[in-house]
Amino acid sequence: MRTIKGPALFLAQFAGDQPPYDDWRGITRWAADLGYKGVQVPTWDARLFDLDLAVDSAEWRDEFLGIARDNGVEVTELTCHLQGQLVAVHPAYDAAFDGFAPAAVHGKPAERQRWAVDQVQKSIRASAALGLSAMGTFSGALAWPYLYPWPQRAPGLVETAFDTLASRWRPLLDLAEDQGVDVCFEIHPGEDLHDGVTFEMFLDRLGGHPRANMLYDPSHYLLQRLDYLENIDIYHDRIRMFHAKDAEFNPTGRQGVYGGFQSWVNRAGRFRSLGDGQVDFGGVFSRLTQYDFDGWAVVEWECALKHPEDGAREGAAFVRDHIIRVTPHAFDDFATGAVDQAAVDKVLGLS
């Protein structure tokens, strides 16, 4: 067993236009001051990261990593969630998702997809160039509007959607294999990969591709009433990244999982800061440690109530207190001795 690394912080929700959140030097120093040992970097935020230079310039990469190191944090992983989302977009979401891409490709779904694929390719290459072994992303979605089986789905609709999704991701996963990078899909509502069954449907079409893996976030599982601890039992071989994020689900006589089109604060299911929700993180950290998870515990702050600065500060301490320093020996080693085969045979009645 290995001790999980951390705490680390996903910077996407904290990057802003005011110091210390508006540049790489400031935000890494701020994270370190809160007690974080690592930071996870969104490749779409130009205030923190230059994806083109990360691919093309060793000098830029050295400076980028050096600033983080000087401030006391490591770069844990890159993520390209927003670009990955655009690899597969159902037309119903074209207008909403245009905002994830440059203005030049707005209203041009095919060009937007080509841009997204290029961005994911660069994120894979940048991860490898920075010495990182895993990258987080979304899968995108073609079948999501048909999640509920009413009206009845056209025969072959789901199969065609997953065939297409797999065909779009296969070249990217092959590139990831060449670069030695695990592509970790965050299993998430709004993505065709939103639970274990859909991940398996995708994986089957890829022939079990070794670079198709999972970013585990128990908050999304709690909100859809999925057993997030058994999920680790089932998929631990594929879990290569971990977001520590909390949530709570409080159904009423008026609303449940679907939320009644309410705002986040008024939904039955809502995200909370670490320790304020219902996720059994003692169980999560125990399971991941048991299965030898060799990665970082990364705080992702998304809370309907608490200020992000408070959530970040409390999150560092929460993760630090939940990381299990693994034991180097068995607790009952004091009672053992050297093997005496004659004594063993005698106890078993073999002598």
Mean pLDDT per 10-residue interval, the chain, length 351 residues: 96 97 98 98 98 98 98 98 98 97 98 98 99 98 97 97 98 98 98 98 98 98 98 98 98 97 98 98 98 98 97 98 88 70 86 73
Separation CA 109–CA 100 (nearest Å):
12
- Give the model's pLDDT for residue 103: 98
Q: Domain extents for the chain?
A: 5-347
- pLDDT of res. 339: 79
Cβ atoms of residues 297 and 244 within 8 Å: yes
* CB atoms near residue 260 (< 10 Å): 11
CATH 3.40.50.2300 fits 5-347, yes or no: no
Question: 329, exposed or middle or buried, with CB in 10 Å at 0-12, 13-18, 19+?
Answer: exposed
Whose tokens are 């520590």? That residue is 244
Given this model, what pLDDT does residue 306 score? 97
What pLDDT is recorded for position 351?
73
The answer, yes or no, to whether the previous bond of 151 is cis (omega within 30 of 0) is yes
**Rg (alpha carbons) of the chain, rounded to whole number:** 22
pTM attached to this predicted model: 0.95
DSSP line for 155-187: TTHHHHHHHHHHHHHHHHHHHHHHHT-EEEEE-
Q: What span, in angstroms and rounded, lies between the C-alpha atoms of 192 and 179?
A: 25
Q: What is the pLDDT of residue 342?
A: 86
Q: Which of 40, 57, 198 is nearest to 122 (CA)?
A: 57
